[in-house]
Each structure stands twice: as C-alpha cells, then as structure tokens.
Structure 1
Amino acid sequence: MPIGLAPTARSVFASHDIDHAALDGAPLFDLPFNPGVKIRGYSAINQPNCQVIIEDFMPGDEFWWTFAHDEIQYALAGEMEVEVYMPPLYSEVERATIRAGTVYSYPVGARKYVKVTSDVPFRHICFCPPSPDYPFPTLDQLNSATKQE
C-alpha cells in the first residue's frame, strides 16, 4: 500500500522512437462501438501518469468516439475532418481540419465525429493522462508477432 503524498503508483522515465515500419505492418482491429471501422496502433509508453499510443485511422473511414479521459494528440501524417461535441449538453460543436503537424486536445466527455479525408492513413500520437491502459499491443509484441509469421 503506497503511503505519503503519492497514493498511487509512480511513473518512471521512459522514451520511445516511433517505428513507422512496424505500425505499417501491424494488424488491423475493430474500433469498439463502430462496426466495420478498422484501426491499428501500438502502445509506445504506458505509465500510470500517461499512456502514449501511436495510432492509424484508415483512409475514407468515418466514426464516432466519446472520450472517457482528457486526451492530447499530435498528427504525424494524413488528414481528417473532425467535429467535436462538447459536454455536458453536446450543443457546442467545434470543427477542424487536422493535418500533419497539428496538435489538438479533447476534454473528458467530448464526443467526436471523424472523417479521414486523405488517401493515406491518418497517423497520430495520443497522449492519454492518466493511463486508461487501453489494450493496444506494445512495439515488442508487434515485432514478436511479425517474427513468428
């Protein structure tokens, strides 16, 4: 049982070099609550203070998502149109075109509608504080699966 000023598990230093080739070869999986929408990604860092995920949305895909935590993202490649419906009543709507080099954030409870408009995957980094511990594979797991094939 932790004691003192930090009642939860502490994070440690971590660094990660994004492996674009590994992500390009990663298997697609179903985006929850969005039948027919496939994504791919991996968990680059997963510490109590933040999970960092490298993720692709596929060209032409459209979907809805609701955030159970605050999230900050940075676009690496591709383009998407996004509509963000703000809580608590979802009557306030923000619209944006997100391209490589854009940093953007979603507040807890926000609901978004995404349309990928590029002909390449929309690749981005998700910073999810504190870690929701999403079940993405790690880079080591992706590389191990590739070696076993």
Structure 2
Amino acid sequence: MPVGLAPAPRSKFRHHQIDHAALDGAPALPLPFQVGEQRIRGYSAISEPSVQIIIEDFLPGTEFSWVFTHDEYQYCLSGAIDIEVWEPPLYQESTKARLTAGCVYSFPVGARMHVKVLGDKPFRHICFCPPNPGYPFPKLEELKGA
C-alpha cells in the first residue's frame, strides 16, 4: 500500500563505498541473448524499491548489444567503449559516442545499444536503474563471503 506521497513501497537511505578489489574478483556473468561468450561482472551496491545501483565492468574484448526495459543512467569510472544507441519507436537513427572516465550518460526505456570495449582494461561504470529491475548481480557481502 502506498505511504505518503510514495507511489510504491518507500525506499530507505543507503550509502555505499565502491570496493574495486571486490569487483576485480567478482565472477564473470554470461550475458543473455548474445552470440559467443560475452560476459560482464558486477555487484549490486544498493537495492531499494525505487532503484538498483550496480557497479559493473564490461570486460576487455567484449562486444554486445542490449535493449533497456527501463530508463537507466550511468557514470563511467574508468576504461573506454565505443557505443551506438538507437531509440524507439522506430530505431531508424542512431547516435555514436566514445565514453570514457568521467562521462555521464542516459538510456531511455526501449533504447538499443551496441557496445565495443576498447583497450585492455575493463569499462567500469555505475548503473542507476529505476525502478529496481532486480538484476541478479551478487551483493558486495556475497563477494566477500560474509
């Protein structure tokens, strides 16, 4: 039942210090609906009804496509990718960009992207996914064996 002005269960205040070492040791997860062995790694830093915040790596040599089922906002911490994004409803025009550390970018619901990781380092970024899609990333505590 909604509480106050919230349209859904109310989220709580959370904070998180990114653990780069834990992410470096996170298992590589297969990407669904991809050709070949495309993998990413990451962990769910904050999971509340209103948002899931994921610390994520696209691994070197990775090239894949994805369609967003929700709006998503991201911030690049390190690495670089070439990206092409097609937006609904007809996906007729695309935007190409090179994303590097310090870049903030957004994807509207329904957008399709194609990513190619550049160089020999992961493309490390923070994903802000509202509302919480429940992606099956481990939590930091799980990576640390707690």
> Which residue is 1:119 aligned to?
120
> Which residue is 1:31 aligned to?
31
3-state SS of 1:124 partner: strand
Unpaired stretches in structure 1, ≥5 consecutive residues: none
3-state SS of 1:16 partner: coil
1:97 aligns with 2:93: no
Q: What value does the CA root-mean-square deviation take over the aligned residues?
A: 1.3
> Which residue is 1:69 aligned to?
70
- The Cα shift of 1:49 comes to 1.1
- The Cα shift of 1:5 comes to 3.8
3-state SS of 1:141 partner: helix
Q: Using the alignment, how far apart are the partners of 1:26 and 1:3 within structure 2?
A: 37
Q: Using the alignment, how far apart are the partners of 1:124 and 1:26 within structure 2?
A: 14
Unpaired stretches in structure 2, ≥5 consecutive residues: none
TM-score in terms of structure 2 length:
0.95
Q: Using the alignment, how far apart are the partners of 1:58 and 1:71 within structure 2?
A: 20
Q: Using the alignment, how far apart are the partners of 2:17 and 2:53 within structure 1?
A: 12
3-state SS of 1:21 partner: helix
> Which residue is 1:10 aligned to?
10
1:33-72 equivalences under 5 Å are 33-34=33-34, 35-72=36-73
For these two proteins, the number of residue pairs brought into alignment is: 145
3-state SS of 1:140 partner: helix
Q: Using the alignment, how far apart are the partners of 1:142 and 1:116 within structure 2?
A: 24
- Alpha carbons 2:12, 2:48 under 8 Å: kept: yes
Counterpart AA for 2:18? I
1:110 aligns with 2:111: yes
Q: Using the alignment, how far apart are the partners of 1:42 and 1:107 within structure 2?
A: 22
- The Cα shift of 1:99 comes to 0.2
Of the structure 1 ranges 2-11 and 49-58, higher mean CA displacement relative to structure 2 is found in 2-11
- Alpha carbons 2:3, 2:10 under 8 Å: kept: no
TM-score in terms of structure 1 length:
0.93
Percent identity, aligned pairs only, is 61
